[in-house]
Amino acid sequence: MPVTTDAGVTERTTQGAWAWLERRSDAALLFAVVLPLFVLFFLTSQRGLPYNIDAFSNAVPAWSIANHGTVHLDDYAGLTGPEYFGNVGWFVDVDGTAVSQYPPGAALWGVPFYLVGPDGLVVVTGTAVNAPELGNVEIPIPPLGPAAAAAAAAVALAMGWLVLTFRPLVGTRSAIMAAALAALGTSTWNVASSRLWQHGPAMMWLALAGLLASRSRLGASGLSHGMAVLTRPLTAVVSAATGLWVARRERSWAPVVRVGLGATLGLAAVVGYNAVVFGTPSISGGYGGNFTDQALGSNPLWWAGNVVGALFDPERGLLVWSPFLLVLVPGLRSAWRVAPAWIRGGAIGAVLYLLIQYKSNRFSGGGGFYGYRYPLEALVAAAPLLVLAFREWVAARPVALKAFGLLAVASVTLQAVVVVRF
């Protein structure tokens, strides 16, 4: 009589699960990916103190808009002095009240979560990590659970959009595995999903823009790019590169117009917001001119060193914390040969995004976290090309495939250790 081993049952169960997912519609597959990721991200998110001041400066205006309908933060007016700026929060004095220096996109994404969450401020007396010499400082703290839910939802949706983008390129199973590695083997997990940084919402909009571009819905893709720009204005270079490269391939200016219109609306919203809130129509807003001056005037040797640090620094290096990317590099040429124009444009935009970012700011991205954060948006924009690099080069070479698997496990382990311990 036939004997079925436990291993055989497990294998058939696994095969059945993959077969079930293969048959699902895009909507069902999206739900099947996003829900468990959201639960994982939320459960491992930061919902208490200490809290990174960058994310804090997005959570506070989200709370304020939800509860008071304004970005003006009267409760924080006393925390805009130079001794507090960059130590307690990134709050700028505007006509006697406080405003977060950041563009409004991340805060706007957090508003629905604060509308259904608790609404009371709690005044906490504590010491600023960056400036202990200030002594005890009274800081109003909004509930941080809604901000955590907003971050977790944004990143889970970003990974869901990536699965749907990858599916036609490599099939359902490989698409899910690739998105899982993007979610758990990069700082997506321990940074973007942990708090309401700008990164999570920007990644979400860029991932949706890529999915829409893959389906030739360039107008809708442009609108999604516009939302990314409203969240993190530098992402405009990704939309520009995408529209221009597709236009080059089609020998028509129509793609530039279709993608560019939505992205321009986002840029106009940033400029308009800064004009109303800060009194000057600009892209930099509460940042002032520091980053623009640095981008235009930094020493080329400093810039080169900054790029090297961004890749290899032990604390922040992209290739240190996500070493599986090293195995994909040799496959980029093969991937480029078969990549459609929208993938090439997104990848070019990702490179430009990082080069500009590293010319205008130090690669470390500040403190209060482990791993990297600036490459996160670029990784999303370049993700389809990286998936093709795996399909075209890694998958066909047993040694490369084994190395990739080992480094993928190492990458996930690094992120998991940080999430669990810190």
Residue 193, classed as helix, strand or coil, is coil
Cα within 13 Å of Cα(79), Cβ side:
25
**Residues 78, 191: Cα–Cα separation, whole Å:** 29
Question: For residue 2, what pLDDT is reported?
Answer: 47
Question: For residue 12, what pLDDT is reported?
Answer: 65
The neighbouring-strand residues paired with 100 are: 91
Residue linked to tokens 């990297």: 372
For the chain, what are the domain ranges? 53-142, 148-421
Q: Residue 37: is its pLDDT beyond 60?
A: yes
Tokens standing for residue 190: 């321990």
187 close to 418: Cβ distance less than 8 angstroms: no
150 close to 38: Cβ distance less than 8 angstroms: no
Question: What is the mean pLDDT of the segment spanning 82-92?
Answer: 93
Pairing of β 97-100 and β 136-141: unpaired
pLDDT band for position 307 (cuts 50, 70, 90): very high
**Residues 173, 272: Cα–Cα separation, whole Å:** 44
Annotate 362-376 with DSSP letters as a single string.
Answer: -TT--SSSSS--TTH
Annotate 241-254 with DSSP letters as a single string.
Answer: HHHHHHHHHHT-SH
- Helices of type H across 69-198: 105-115, 145-170, 172-184, 187
Tokens standing for residue 36: 């468990």
- The contacts of residue 125 (CB under 8 Å, 6+ apart) are 136, 137, 138, 139
Long-range contacts of 267-272 (CB under 8 A, 24+ apart): 267/226, 267/229, 267/233, 267/236, 269/226, 269/229, 269/230, 270/103, 270/229, 270/230, 270/233
Q: Residue 9: is its pLDDT beyond 60?
A: no
Question: For residue 168, what pLDDT is reported?
Answer: 97
- The contacts of residue 315 (CB under 8 Å, 6+ apart) are 364, 370
pLDDT band for position 20 (cuts 50, 70, 90): confident
% of the chain exceeding 70 in pLDDT:
95
Residue linked to tokens 């391939």: 249
Q: Please tell me the least confidently modeled range out of 131-145, 351-365, 379-393, 399-413.
A: 131-145
Q: Please tell me the least confidently modeled range out of 85-89, 156-160, 173-177, 305-309.
A: 85-89
**Residues 55, 73: Cα–Cα separation, whole Å:** 16
Give tens-digit pLDDT for 174-213: 999 999 999 999 999 999 999 999 999 999 999 999 999 9
Question: For residue 261, what pLDDT is reported?
Answer: 97
- Helices of type H across 232-375: 236-250, 254-278, 290-297, 300-312, 318-321, 324-328, 332-338, 341-360
Residue linked to tokens 């009240």: 97
Q: Please tell me the least confidently modeled range out of 121-135, 147-161, 345-359, 364-378.
A: 121-135
Residue linked to tokens 């623009």: 292
**Residues 107, 60: Cα–Cα separation, whole Å:** 8
- The contacts of residue 32 (CB under 8 Å, 6+ apart) are 21, 24
DSSP state of 74: G
- Integer-rounded Cα Rg, in Å, for the chain is 22
Neighbours of 220 (CB within 10 A): 18
380 close to 203: Cβ distance less than 8 angstroms: yes
Give tens-digit pLDDT for 336-389: 999 999 999 999 999 999 999 999 999 999 988 999 999 999 999 999 999 999
Residue linked to tokens 């639960």: 39
- The contacts of residue 2 (CB under 8 Å, 6+ apart) are none
Question: For residue 182, what pLDDT is reported?
Answer: 98
Q: Does residue 50 have a cis peptide bond before it, meaning omega lies within 30 degrees of 0?
A: yes
